[in-house]
Amino acid sequence: MNPYALPSIITVIPYVILALTVLLLNPRDRTTRWLGYMLLGFAASGAAIAYFHLATTREQAVFRNRVPYLVVLPSVFVFVEYACVWFGGAERLRELLLGIPVATHRWIAAAVLAVAWLVTLSNDWIVAPPIYNETTGWEHTYGPGYPVFLLGNGYVLTFVAYVLWRGINAAHEPVERRYRRLGFVALVGGLPVGAGLLGFVFPWVPGWPTHAFSMLPTLFGLFLLTYAQMRYQLETIGEFSRKLEEKVAVRTAELAQANLNLQQAKEAADEANRAKSAFLNTVSHELRTPLTSVVGFAKLIKKRLTDVMLPALAGADAKVERASRQVSDNVDIIVAEGERLTTLINDVLDLAKIESGKVEWHMQPVAVGEIIQRAIAATTSLSGAKGLAVHTEIGELPTVVGDPDRLIQVVINLLSNAIKFTDHGAITCRARRVDGAIEVGVTDTGTGIAPEDQPKVFEQFVQVGDTLTGKPTGTGLGLPICKQIVEHHGGRIWVESQIGRGSTFAFTLPSNGAAEG
């Protein structure tokens, strides 16, 4: 018996098993049927080759011219199958190619390309070059790789199909995914088999361009490799895009939630601020009424002491005189502290009105120079008591639109603070035109404010005197009120200061561009 007969018979078995498995999995699917028919074609061709090797020498000579056409049948099945799968719908081909992870497509495609190239370009190793005999015609001998080819193609294909069918974690993999893997290996695995059978046919048909035919599976392998690489890149880009979209969606949701929380916090803060203003307004009114009476009676007592009782006690006992003077001093303290408390209450009421929008603004053209002069006149007693000179530097300025009483209040407050914190030197009040606006500044030569405390001076109820020596007491509301008034006029207010060298409080007002004042 021909030594190649047994390998030829054995190689038929895996093709039959694999074909029946594919056909029984999904017999109604057209693509599946073509896969099964292709594998049966391989089995039929293998059976023809086995019969050829079992035949006698004479029968082989008669059968020699028929074998090539039977052997080439599987290769025809391969290309017919590819065409049917393609024309049956690109989605079918995609489903088959999706049978295994996309990352491995490149390696499988490269392996298919290598096998196809080796099989078709190494025919000498499988089938030796033919020799023409005038009596028997073309004869050929088999190379050392022929049995390996017969056994290897079918069993390697079957083994790979078995491994892919089981999967890495078969207990948890759906049957559909394993079926797709099996279809993939049948589709791709047919390429080297068909290429090998073509290589077997080449020596039998003289004149066939062996290397030209060998390029067919090579080109298909290149196509598959290119497709796998492109699909891998597209899948990678798609995965990045999907993750990016997910991150954008998450960040958008987080931002929307943060905005919602911020809006809720703002509404809560506004509500708390309104409640605070209402509370301060109510409490201040309730405190100011009895306080006005207390201060009024204290002033009346002081007047009676000064006009009536103290003259009557002149020349009396020394103890009586000391007691009367102490009573007079105590009444002075009551009046001073009462007036200070009244100022605090008035500031609280003023701030509450401004924040609640209940202040009546009397906007009209105002001459800044006149505002400054009136403020200086109102603080003359304070500066005179400390022996401080107040200088002015006022240029030619246009008018501004504002509430004159409120603007005077701002300048008076700045001058009062400058006088309080200055023991020696002088105070300068300037007004000039800067970039289409009017800038008003009050400069002193007092103790100054530390850099870390400067942002706090415009906060409500905050006094930065902890860093100052000998700081007079205050309400902590004067500068916040000034800030509210200036901002209502469309300007801004700020401070520039150095410890030991004094401070400059300045604010701007939009220029009206009208006549000078």
Which is it for strands 400-402 and 389-394: parallel, antiparallel or unpaired? unpaired
What pLDDT is stored for residue 72 in this prediction?
52
Strand partners, 509: 438
Please check the confidence at residue 263 and state whether its pLDDT lies above 90.
yes
487-513 confidence digits (pLDDT tens): 999 999 999 999 888 999 999 999 864
What pLDDT is stored for residue 91 in this prediction?
42
In 3D space, the residue among 407, 445, 453, 404 whose CA is nearest the CA of residue 427 turns out to be 445
How many Å separate Cα 315 from the centre of its chain? 88
Lowest-confidence pick of 58-72, 74-88, 307-321, 326-340: 74-88
74-87 confidence digits (pLDDT tens): 555 555 554 544 44
Give buried/exposed letters for 54-67 (b at 16+ CB in 10 A, else e). Answer: bbeeeebeeebeeb
202-248 confidence digits (pLDDT tens): 555 555 554 445 555 555 555 655 555 566 666 677 788 889 899 99
CATH of 364-510, one of 3.20.20.80, 3.30.565.10, 3.40.1280.10, 3.40.50.2300: 3.30.565.10
Share of the chain above pLDDT 90, in %: 21
* Average predicted confidence (pLDDT) for the chain: 72
What pLDDT is stored for residue 321 in this prediction?
77
341-354 confidence digits (pLDDT tens): 887 777 777 777 77
Mean pLDDT of 39-58: 69
Phi and psi (nearest 5°) for 438? -105, 130
How many Å apart are CA 19 and CA 34, to the nearest integer? 10
357-389 confidence digits (pLDDT tens): 777 888 999 999 999 999 999 999 889 889 999
Lowest-confidence pick of 313-317, 428-432, 455-459: 313-317
pLDDT band at 390 (very low <50, low <70, confident <90, very high): very high
**Cβ–Cβ contacts within 10 Å for residue 201, how many?**
22
How many Å apart are CA 185 and CA 161, to the nearest integer? 6
